[in-house]
Structure formats: structure tokens, C-alpha cells
């Protein structure tokens, strides 16, 4: 008997990206299917795509024990609060799904933490360690021997060259590229299309070609210009 486990998505509109991957996985006979959403803002029963909101985040513990979870809460500049929100729910690692689209190409030896999503046409080369709650969007290319911390986001068509290290909660926006052997500090934001040639300090925002620091996180949840 094949058991199909429902995967419930914590989050809102962008969850349709993961829901679609779950549909494609179910069609491929991978033993998972989308089981709906948990959402703190929308009333229970609200539709998101072809699925329903089942309740707020805290309702996770009311769901059947076979239910798995994944969150879609990555947002540049808001990760400290969002990481904290997810972690304080106390969902055990064994209940977080890994959603890897069937059209992703992921090296055999890749370590992937619970709660992570790898989209269609994303590529992960050997020797790479991917933390918990990471999102690699479509067409993202992660070369060999990368280390991605928890809650890292890499957007569509991003390239990480070999031997990079990306700190927890860092956000790499679409079409950015990172030189080999570069370190992106925790909670940093790499703007769309940034061409990163040097290490990025923690809690900093970079943008441009070549990328330069344009803002810093002040610790109170606010961002300002580098000289502001």
C-alpha cells in the first residue's frame, strides 16, 4: 500500500509555487500531496489557489500526525521576525517536508534540511549542504561545495559559484550572481541582479553591478542607507 502524506503550507499567496510542486510530485507518484494552508491573516476556509486555509499557524498541532509542513515566509528585510515566528511554533523537524520538484537536478550527496523547497530547473552541484527552511527558486544554480544556512532564499536564475557560504536568513534576489569562495553574511540581502565580487557583511544589503553595500540592518527591524 502506498501512503500519500499531505503537506500543509504555512503562508499565503506565494504558497501556490510550492502547491504546484506538490501537485507535480503527486503526479510523479512521490507519495505527497498538498493538504491546504495555515495562515494567520486569512479566515479558515479562504481559498488560496485550489486549496483552503485550515486555520492559523498554531493549528498545526491539531492536524493528523501524518501531516507534513513547509513554510513560504521568506521576505527580504523581515527574516529575523519570520525565522523567530517559525521556530517558536515548535514543529519538530520530523514534521517538516522537503519539497524537491521533479524537474530539479540535485547532486546525490546534497544534504538538505527539513522544510526546504527546491524548484523546477534548479540545479545543485556536489558537495553542497543546504540548511533548514531554504528556498531555491526555479532556474537557480548552486555550484559545488556551497554551504547554505537555515532560511536562505535564492531567487529564480540566481547563480552561486563554487565554495560559497551563505549565512542563515540571507536573501539572494533573482538573477544575482555570486563569485566563487564568497561569504554572504547572515540576514543579508543581495538585491536583484547584483553581481557580488566580495564578501557581504552580515545584516547588510548590497545591490548593483558590481554590488556595493547600500544599507544595514540596525537591529530594531529597520533598514537604512549605509550612511543614514
Binding site for a copy of itself (CB under 8 A): 13-14, 16-17, 19-20, 23-24, 49-50, 101, 103, 105, 107-109, 119-121, 123, 125-127, 137-139, 141, 143-145, 155-159, 161-162, 173-177, 179, 191-193, 195, 197, 207-210
Q: Which is nearer to a copy of itself, 141 or 168 (CB)?
A: 141
Closest to 172 measured CA to CA, from 201, 138, 146, 206: 206
Strand partners, 100: 118
Q: Which is nearer to a copy of itself, 210 or 221 (CB)?
A: 210
Closest to 168 measured CA to CA, from 136, 135, 131: 131
**CB 167 to a copy of itself: min, Å:** 21
Cell numbers for 181, please give them.
Answer: 569562495
**CB 49 to a copy of itself: min, Å:** 5
Q: Which is nearer to a copy of itself, 51 or 67 (CB)?
A: 51
CA 219-221-225 angle, 5° bins = 80
**CB 207 to a copy of itself: min, Å:** 8
Q: What contacts 101, CB < 8 A, 6 or more positions away?
A: 21, 24, 25, 118, 119, 120, 122
Q: Which is nearer to a copy of itself, 29 or 64 (CB)?
A: 29
Closest to 141 measured CA to CA, from 114, 177, 192: 177
Q: Which is nearer to a copy of itself, 160 or 187 (CB)?
A: 160
**CB 193 to a copy of itself: min, Å:** 4
**CB 208 to a copy of itself: min, Å:** 6
Using an 8 Å Cβ cutoff, are 160 and 179 in contact? no
Amino acid at each position: 500500500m502506498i501512503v500519500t502524506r499531505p503537506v500543509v503550507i504555512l503562508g499565503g499567496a506565494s504558497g501556490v509555487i510550492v502547491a504546484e510542486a506538490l501537485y507535480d510530485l503527486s503526479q510523479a507518484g512521490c507519495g505527497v500531496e498538498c493538504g491546504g494552508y495555515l495562515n494567520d491573516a486569512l479566515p479558515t476556509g479562504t481559498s488560496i489557489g485550489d486549496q483552503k486555509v485550515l486555520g492559523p499557524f498554531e493549528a498545526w498541532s491539531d492536524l493528523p500526525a501524518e501531516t507534513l509542513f513547509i513554510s513560504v515566509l521568506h521576505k527580504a528585510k523581515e527574516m529575523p521576525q519570520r525565522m523567530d515566528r517559525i521556530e517558536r511554533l515548535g514543529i519538530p523537524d520530523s514534521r517538516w517536508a522537503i519539497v524537491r520538484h521533479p524537474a530539479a537536478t540535485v547532486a546525490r550527496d546534497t544534504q538538505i534540511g527539513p522544510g526546504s523547497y527546491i524548484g523546477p530547473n534548479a540545479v545543485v552541484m556536489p558537495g553542497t549542504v543546504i540548511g533548514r527552511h531554504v528556498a531555491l527558486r526555479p532556474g537557480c544554480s548552486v555550484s559545488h561545495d556551497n554551504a547554505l544556512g537555515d532560511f536562505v532564499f535564492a531567487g529564480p536564475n540566481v547563480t552561486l559559484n563554487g565554495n560559497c557560504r551563505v549565512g542563515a536568513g540571507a536573501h539572494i534576489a533573482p538573477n544575482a550572481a555570486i563569485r566563487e569562495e564568497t561569504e554572504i553574511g547572515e540576514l543579508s540581502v543581495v538585491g536583484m541582479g547584483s553581481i557580488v565580487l566580495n564578501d557581504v557583511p552580515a545584516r547588510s544589503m548590497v545591490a548593483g553591478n558590481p554590488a556595493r553595500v547600500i544599507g544595514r540592518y540596525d537591529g530594531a527591524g529597520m533598514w537604512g542607507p549605509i550612511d543614514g
